[in-house]
Amino acid sequence: MKTIGVLTSGGDAPGMNAAIRAVTRTGIYNNIRIMGIKQGYNGLIDGNIYEMNLSSVADIIHRGGTMLRTARSDEFTTEAGREKAMTVLKVFRIDGLVVIGGDGSLKGARELSKLGFPTIGIPGTIDNDLGYTDFTIGFDTTINTVIDAISKIRDTSTSHGRANIIEVMGRHCGDIALNAGLAGGAESIIVPEEGFNVEEVCKRLIQGKNRGKLHSIILLAEGIGNAYELGDEIQKYTGIETRVTILGHLQRGGSPTAFDRIIASKMGAKAVQLLIEGKTSRALGIKGNKIFDIDIDEALSIKREFDTDTYQLTKILSI
């Protein structure tokens, strides 16, 4: 293993930079040349590749986003696109690849492994929607961003006696809403895995109001309904003025938390170590505070299980 390439792909996530830094520094420490591939699989197909040195990754551990930039690549999902990528890897004399991204990106890594190219996947996505790992890089930063927003919105909701629906990201996974809702003390949490019933949400709001609660935070995961329509319905049924805040892309940015920096650093270093050991087609994860590796195919076949115990707990704690 003389040369390793590294790329970030799919949605950006805070902590990706810490992973790039760890790959680069661990590689150079082991006398391996590190090639940074820009804009995900698009950059791999186009040969948008340059050599990294120790200072290429200086001053990035605390920055959100990804210094290698990211992209979604339709071309890479085709056989012809992947063949081009394989040719570029050969031209640049790259012997192994580290892919940092979400489930789509790891599927791409699996395809390269199937073509015989040594590839390791690192889970980097704010959604935490990969079943084989407890956490993905970026998730912890995002839930901290969301609880900060909840606190700020709660101040103004309390002053006016309003209810507030806060829509958060997560695609089909309710983990951001669930965990930020628990940590932020939301009155109701609406996630795709559990569905919801408007009457029940309204009942909780009215019960809270009758007990003297001055605010109500409803955390809504994206992809389960229109936040504005829900707000109108709640206001109609309860008579409580209801506002909507869609947090959107601010959830993706910001300086990564210590947790995200730590797991990103450990996974980045381990990815290089695995390639040095001649391993391929492995995905990295964390379980019980231990970083582990698993066959990518197996990792991708594990369905994410929604944490129903935590969901029940949020219901108890928000009575």
Judged by the rule CB under 6 A, the positions of this chain that interact with ligand ATP are 9-11, 41, 72-73, 76-77, 101-105, 107-108, 111, 125, 127
Bridge partner list, 163: 216, 242
Q: Give the Cβ contact number of residue 106 at 10 Å.
A: 29
* Cβ 111 to ligand ATP shortest distance, Å: 5
Residue 12 annotated in active site: no
How far CA 304 is from CA of 42, 104, 222, in Å, comes to: 28, 15, 17
Distance CA 318, CA 202 (A): 14
* Cβ 105 to ligand ATP shortest distance, Å: 3
Distance CA 307, CA 73 (A): 32
* Cβ 101 to ligand ATP shortest distance, Å: 4
Distance CA 18, CA 120 (A): 16
Q: Which one is catalytic: 127, 129, 175, 260?
A: 127
User: Judged by CB, which is closer to ligand ATP: 305, or 309?
Assistant: 305
Which H/E stretch holds residue 109? helix 103-114
Distance CA 119, CA 37 (A): 14
User: Judged by CB, which is closer to ligand ATP: 105, or 179?
Assistant: 105
User: Judged by CB, which is closer to ligand ATP: 11, or 231?
Assistant: 11
* Cβ 278 to ligand ATP shortest distance, Å: 24
User: Judged by CB, which is closer to ligand ATP: 77, or 318?
Assistant: 77
Q: Which residue is nearest to ligand ATP (CB)?
A: 104
Which of 78, 109, 77 has its CA nearest to residue 7? Answer: 109
Half-sphere exposure of 258 (CA within 13 A, CB side): 0
Task: List, by residue number, the catalytic residues.
Answer: 127
